Amino acid sequence: MESLVVECLRCGSQRQVEHAPLRMVNPECARCGYVGWASVEDLTERDRRALRARPLERRRLRLA
């Protein structure tokens, strides 16, 4: 099975996961403890800046 590279939506750290990221044993980020992740391929620099500028309780990535 191929791996997927995901990025923490809080601090930007990246890690490789299997294609079923919801089944991860430790879903929180090892660097900051946040649990919001997105595929690196799906995020643009504009998305990254917009997400990090918002308070944590208002961060959501809305996909079309």
- Taking only the tens place, the pLDDT of each residue in 1-56 is 567 899 998 888 999 887 665 555 668 899 988 888 888 999 999 988 887 787 76
Q: Which has the higher per-residue pLDDT, 63 or 34?
A: 34
Cβ neighbours for 6, distance < 8 A, ≥ 6 positions apart: 14, 15, 16, 17, 21, 37, 38, 39, 40
Question: What is the pLDDT, as a whole number, of residue 13?
Answer: 92
Q: How far apart (Å, rounded) are the C-alpha atoms in residues 32 and 4?
A: 20
Q: Full-prediction pTM beyond 0.85? A: no
Select from 2, 64, 63 the least CA-distant residue to 38.
63
d(CA 45, CA 20): 25
Run of H or E including 53:
helix 45-53
So what's the pLDDT on residue 45? 92
